[in-house]
Structure 1
């Protein structure tokens, strides 16, 4: 079994816990309010804006033996540049104040997930950051396009209010193939363990953003 397949298998429980969160299931069925969608976009902005800085930090901390992975990080950076602006555009297309969203603060759950990502890179094994990549890109492929199409109909919002979801649902299909090829080149057992550990944590941390979305992120709900 390839390492990518092992990674998916070893994190299946946590992935299922994320996908079973009630508000995610409601979104897929078109049963959430416009305010829920806007709240999701606000939190998405607050973690997506850190994607490029996190990739840069990860690339800087990778050891010389993983120079090939640093090159891949450079490709990710080029691809991810400016995506947080797409989220702000969607917020504006929903009739909300773009500037107010940009000036707002993240929820506790979002702040903790981002903080854990930086901590993984700086204090732990920087390769563990790819556990976050697995969670965010894998979730996008599984949910984004389907949710966008359903919500556009149920919320009666324009197509340009879903540019972030639609682009990531389609774009991340290509990214997942790229990610799989990268993971299958990982041959160090410590690196593998770091990625699995981080992925398990990020499934819970990302899930907490959705678990607390309707209470304004004021507290962390119990993990599923």
Structure 2
């Protein structure tokens, strides 16, 4: 189902109102004259988000399973997440591999605290999962997997940074995988017997994700914009 009455269409309509905020942040990052320096910082930020993906889904799946006997939406969310958890395993390790190509050591990166913005982005999902309804997480997933980079865009990023293809392996994999995951999510949404309150939390979750993900990207650029330059060496996330 892909029409004006479908759940996925209703969610995408809400997302379309705000998604330009995320597109603007990404474009500003990629067009920055010091993008080669910013790219490792971008991967660090992405790793900070993606390392939370499986734990978030496990938390939501556990909560949904506990609600399943009396909540058909929760039961179906549990089934979807049990499959998707397996699909998302070890993606954070892929990013660590990419960063190692750029000279960033794993133990150094893992000892570095993620930004408060990323913590707020991920933490809000835990709150909604535990204190409202685990279907909220599908709004988050709709953003993180619903707008993958295109191969042409990644080739342009490689050319601009002069980094090897191995430093973009995770992004190329997601350019291939995420369209399938997006379609699977849309099919799942369209099968859910959603009530008005479910539609509301899905929209809130997606819009909140756009807002904080955009902020997290702009924060990568901010030190460079303020100083006009940055003393960090090329290819290092410090």
TM-score, scaled to structure 1: 0.88
Is the Cα contact below 8 Å between 2:139 and 2:205 reproduced in 1?
A: yes
The 5 Å alignment of 1:72-87 reads 72-87=80-95
Q: Deviations over 1:18-66 (max 9, x none)?
A: 1122xx2145558542221100111111111111110011011112123
Q: Distance in 2 between matches of 1:97 and 1:35?
A: 16
- Between the two proteins, the alignment pairs up a number of residues equal to 212
Match of 1:16 in 2: 20
Which has the larger Rg?
2
Q: Secondary structure at the match of 1:163?
A: helix
Q: Distance in 2 between matches of 1:58 and 1:138?
A: 19
Q: Deviations over 1:92-120 (max 9, x none)?
A: 11122222112111012111111112112
Q: Distance in 1 between matches of 2:152 and 2:32?
A: 10
The 5 Å alignment of 1:149-160 reads 149-160=155-166
Q: Distance in 1 between matches of 2:162 and 2:41?
A: 17
- Aligned-residue CA RMSD in angstroms? 1.7
Of residues 30, 40, 43, the one that matches 2:42 is 40
In the TM superposition, what is the alpha-carbon distance from 1:203 to its structure 2 partner? Answer: 0.6
Match of 2:230 in 1: none
In the TM superposition, what is the alpha-carbon distance from 1:69 to its structure 2 partner? Answer: 2.4
Is the Cα contact below 8 Å between 2:98 and 2:169 reproduced in 1?
A: yes
Match of 1:165 in 2: 171
Task: Compare 86-95 and 32-41 and name the one that shifted more.
Answer: 32-41
The 5 Å alignment of 1:116-127 reads 116-127=124-135
The 5 Å alignment of 1:1-224 reads 1=4, 2-21=6-25, 24-29=26-31, 31-62=33-64, 63-64=67-68, 65=72, 66-139=74-147, 141=148, 143=149, 145-189=151-195, 190-215=197-222
TM-score, scaled to structure 2: 0.83
Give structure 2 stretches of 5+ with no counterpart.
224-238
Q: Deviations over 1:134-187 (max 9, x none)?
A: 110113x2x353442111111111111011111111100110110110111122
Q: Secondary structure at the match of 1:11?
A: helix
Q: Secondary structure at the match of 1:212?
A: helix
Is the Cα contact below 8 Å between 2:29 and 2:221 reproduced in 1?
A: no
